[in-house]
Amino acid sequence: MLTGRTAMRESPPIGFRRIVVALDGSGHSEAALEAAARLASVFDAELAGVYVEDATALRAAEFEFAYEASRYRSVLTEMSAGSMRTQFRVQEQRARRAFEWAARQHRVRSRFDVVRGQVADELVKASDEADLITVGQSGSLSSSRHKIGTTARMVVARASGPVLVLRRGLRFDLPVVVLYDYDAVDSDAALDIGRALSRQDRLSPLVVLVEAPSPAEWPAYERKVLERVGPEANRVETEPVRMDHTADVVSRAHRRRAGVLIVPAGSRGVQAERLSGLVSAADMPVMLVRGPSQRVSQNP
């Protein structure tokens, strides 16, 4: 398991200095908060909570004909700018209490910001100043337990760095499973993050799923991954995988009881049309990594 500040005694060469978590008071965002707080503790990072007042919803509420549909009731509730602001305030207070409790429990440096704007735009902006952003799989008004929400999808598509997507009921943990796609420039960054996380438990292997063009070429592809890992190669376990087959990727991660699945955003396995299916099918947190490995903080 991730063991908190005690794991920092070894000063991993790759880590996170600032972790942003998107909060909206939903169960999905609370799962994202717990994961972000644990990671902040492990890597001695700042935990930054962001609550966004949805400017679009507020503008819509200013019209006299605006109504809110609730998934809990079969009636439409009339909206007003005042009622929407009250709803924002209630959500913000709930999110702030949960955030402050998590920060105290994990004893991490923290800050909580409230901004107003387009939700995805504001979260992407916040991620530009962080090494990682964690988001709930869907928002508080989503009726789907598994489907990835619009905001999470947009953050994944536009954030410049790694994005960790969680849903309610899932716990971020070890072991780490990394998808390594030689055709994706983000694969080295995904592997580096996987190494840093798996280093928190010497008994837990780092599992790397690699696709080779043919069985005969598999040894050469496996060897390249082990060379990239370097001295820690003895802790790495590799498996062949069908990169363009979501079910194969997910089933192998499940079989390994993965605590997190790390995938390069440029991989064929997580192209736009497959992303929702991957996140929905995976009963584990999914981290999507974009950018070169230098995007992840290099600790001295």
The residue with greater pLDDT, 253 or 267, is: 253
> What is the value of pTM for the model shown?
0.84
Res 32: pLDDT: 96
Res 47: pLDDT: 98
Of 51-55, 144-148, 229-233, the poorest mean pLDDT is in: 144-148
Mean pLDDT of the chain: 83
Here the tokens at position 46 are: 């700042």
CATH number of the domain located at residue range(s) 176-298 in this protein: 3.40.50.620
Of 83-92, 177-186, 213-222, the poorest mean pLDDT is in: 83-92
Q: How far apart are CA 33 and CA 28, in angstroms?
A: 9
**pLDDT at 189 > cutoff 60:** yes
CA 279 to each of CA 38, 78, 87, 161: distance values in angstroms, whole numbers, following the listed order: 21, 34, 29, 18
Here the tokens at position 25 are: 């008071």
pLDDT digits (tens, 9 = 90+) for 56-74: 877 776 665 444 444 434 4
User: Residue 14: which pLDDT band, with cuts at 50, 70 and 90?
Assistant: low
Res 293: pLDDT: 46
Res 66: pLDDT: 47
CATH topology of domain 17-56+89-166: Rossmann fold (3.40.50)
The residue with greater pLDDT, 262 or 182, is: 262
Task: Tell me, yes or no, if the two domains 17-56+89-166 and 176-298 fold the same way.
Answer: yes
Domain locations along the chain: 17-56+89-166, 176-298
pLDDT digits (tens, 9 = 90+) for 144-166: 555 788 899 889 888 888 999 99
Q: What is the 3-state secondary structure (H, E, C) of 212-247?
A: CCCHHHHHHHHHHHHHHHHHHHHHEEEEECCCCCHH
Average pLDDT over residues 49-54: 95
Average pLDDT over residues 269-273: 64
Average pLDDT over residues 203-221: 91
Stated as kind and residue range, the H or E segment containing 61 is helix 55-61
Share of the chain above pLDDT 70, in %: 80
Torsions phi, psi for 270 (to 5 deg): -130, 30
